[in-house]
Amino acid sequence: MAQKLDLRPTKRLGQNFVIDGGTVRKIVRAAEVSGSDVVLEVGPGLGSLTLALLEAASHVVAVEIDPVLAKQLPVTVGERGLGSRLTVVEADAMRVTPTHFSGYLPTALVANLPYNVAVPVVLHLLAAVPSLERGLVMVQAEVADRLAARPGSKVYGVPSVKAAWYSDVRRAGPVGRTVFWPVPNVDSGLVSLVRRDPPSTTASREEVFAVIDAAFAQRRKTLRAALAGWAGTAARAEEALRGAGVDPSLRGEQLEVGDYARIAEHRPA
């Protein structure tokens, strides 16, 4: 197929295609896709995962930014008689909303994500597509660790806390680099996301995310110091932290998403 399209995979778009049928089947199995699912796939590429998803799901909405690949996909899928259950959206996944999905409401995100934008794509889709109940995504191994990290871990950071706002996140297994063409210079990992209610709080998501960004912008500092800019002064940051029941001498990496929600609620007026 790549030869037929005279395709030269672009690094900028994270174009490493899975050429191993076993890996594709492993992803679909781990995602537990069933006939009641509408799957949202980001970056279908040459369609290897798309075809496997179409065997299991009722419908697949595939968002592809590369116009050559987006135009080829319905042809590839149509040749196998599955075209009526596929909607291709030629767009940037970081900008799509349900209005692009021709009335389909995706229940599961399943994707081998473009690695350079994996975190913003996941966070955008969890926010913009409320019908998504769960996700199974393949990302760079380090990103998988970061997304699934728990407080206190060295790699716990903004992606971990923000992903936890929307979902329970777990690593779902490693994937070696040799299953791709071209072979990337990193290993990959599967991440499972199961939607849950965000922490109950009077603060908006944007307000909570502003505290998270501030706390990790200077992750070596205590929260009292790191949140000084956000609160106006270090004393006001301390007031917000104490109001939220959080020790001001802690660091951002020690808090859970619920702690951030309480701090946002206590921002001094």
**Part in contact with ligand SAM (CB under 6 A); list of ranges 60-68, 223-231, 245-253, 255-263:** 60-68
- Cα 15 to chain centroid distance, Å, stands at 17
What is the residue whose two structure tokens read 């966070």?
123
20 belongs to the binding site for ligand SAM (CB under 6 A): no
Total length of the chain:
269
Task: Name the region of 184 (left: φ>0; alpha: ψ -120 to 50; beta: rest).
Answer: beta
Binding residue count for ligand SAM, defined by CB under 6 A: 24
Between 12 and 220, whose beta carbon lies closer to ligand SAM? 12
**Part in contact with ligand SAM (CB under 6 A); list of ranges 8-16, 202-210, 219-227, 251-259:** 8-16
Between 69 and 263, whose beta carbon lies closer to ligand SAM? 69
**What phi, psi does 42 have (nearest 5°)?**
-105, 130
Alpha helices in the chain (DSSP H): 21-30, 48-56, 67-78, 118-128, 141-148, 158-166, 205-217, 223-226, 228-231, 234-243, 257-265
73 belongs to the binding site for ligand SAM (CB under 6 A): no
For residue 268, is the peptide bond before it cis, meaning its omega torsion is within 30 degrees of 0? Answer: no
Whether 92 has a binding-site annotation, put simply, is yes
18 belongs to the binding site for ligand SAM (CB under 6 A): yes
30 belongs to the binding site for ligand SAM (CB under 6 A): no
Between 117 and 237, whose beta carbon lies closer to ligand SAM? 117
Q: How far apart are CA 27 and CA 147, in angstroms?
A: 18
What is the residue whose two structure tokens read 């502003």?
210
What's the min distance (Å) between Cβ of 242 and ligand SAM? 42
112 belongs to the binding site for ligand SAM (CB under 6 A): yes
**Part in contact with ligand SAM (CB under 6 A); list of ranges 40-48, 140-148, 213-221, 252-260:** 40-48
Strand partners, 181: 17
53 belongs to the binding site for ligand SAM (CB under 6 A): no
Which segments are annotated as binding site? 16, 18, 43, 64, 92, 112
Which residues of the shown chain bind ligand SAM in the complex (CB under 6 A)?
13-18, 42-46, 48-49, 63-66, 69, 92-94, 112, 114, 117
